[in-house]
């Protein structure tokens, strides 16, 4: 597939071939759904917790004698029915991680990228290098590319601290590297902007 490449000024600099195996893939909706669901599940920390009756700080002494006072029986102040007592059947730390088969995960990323191509929401730029890590430069770049004000995912061939810092304060803008690109970030963006060199890295990673 021939695809137009633009410069940082938004002017055309020629065309390049996008591999059909990555950018012309059709996948069933449930594949994308499973990939997004797995990604979101893996972001959960699962650190919420409550204390049981054996973990709360309370006296082990029996509050009052068993019989003769007309009160309900009580054996400990740590009982779940007492204020300040333990929690019965409360949440404990646990893992929500979900593992998708590698082939399914890669298929989902290829399908998401293909969808962006089909919808005209993908751009390939000659280079995304900035001279300074300034928000002003990133905003100017987005304006030149016609994506200002949109949720934009910048995909680089290699990590660039300048680009990460420059886009960090822009609402909706996110920068990642080609090897770490995931389905959720692609689908959650209105426009995906690829560095020209990132296309080769994506083809190498997803074509395995």
Q: For 2, phi and psi rounded to 5 degrees?
A: -85, 135
If asked whether residues 15 and 67 sit together in one domain, one would say no
Same domain, yes or no: 31 and 121: yes
| 108 & 83 share domain | no
Task: Give me the helix-helix angle, 102-118 and 29-43, nearest 10°.
Answer: 110
Tell me how many domains the chain contains: 2
Tens of pLDDT along 31-54? 999 999 999 999 999 999 999 999
79-112 confidence digits (pLDDT tens): 999 999 999 999 999 999 999 999 999 999 999 9
What is the strand order of the sheet 173-177 is part of? 12-17, 2-6, 122-125, 191-195, 152-156, 173-177
Both 10 and 23 in a single domain? yes
User: How many residues make up the chain in this entry?
Assistant: 208
pLDDT of 60 above 90: no
**Which range of residues forms the domain containing residue 72?**
47-95
Query: Cα–Cα distance between 98 and 123 in angstroms, integer?
Result: 32
């Amino acid at each position: 597939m021939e695809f137009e490449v633009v410069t940082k000024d938004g002017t055309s600099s020629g065309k390049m071939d996008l591999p059909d195996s990555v950018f012309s893939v059709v996948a069933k909706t449930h594949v994308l759904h499973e990939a997004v669901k797995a990604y979101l599940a893996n972001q959960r920390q699962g650190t919420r917790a409550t204390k049981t009756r054996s973990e709360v700080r309370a006296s082990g002494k029996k509050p009052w004698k068993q019989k003769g006072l007309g009160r309900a029986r009580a054996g400990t102040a740590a009982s779940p029915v007492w204020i300040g007592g333990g929690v019965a059947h409360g949440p404990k730390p646990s893992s929500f991680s979900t593992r998708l088969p590698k082939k399914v995960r890669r298929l989902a990323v290829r399908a998401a990228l293909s969808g962006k191509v089909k919808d005209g929401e993908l751009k390939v730029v000659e280079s995304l290098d900035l001279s300074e890590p300034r928000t002003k430069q990133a905003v100017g770049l987005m304006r030149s590319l016609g994506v200002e004000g949109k949720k934009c995912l910048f995909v680089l061939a290699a990590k660039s601290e300048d680009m990460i810092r420059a886009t960090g304060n822009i609402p909706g803008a996110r920068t990642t590297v080609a090897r770490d690109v995931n389905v959720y970030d692609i689908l959650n963006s209105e426009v995906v902007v690829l560095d020209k060199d990132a296309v080769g890295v994506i083809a190498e990673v997803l074509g395995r």
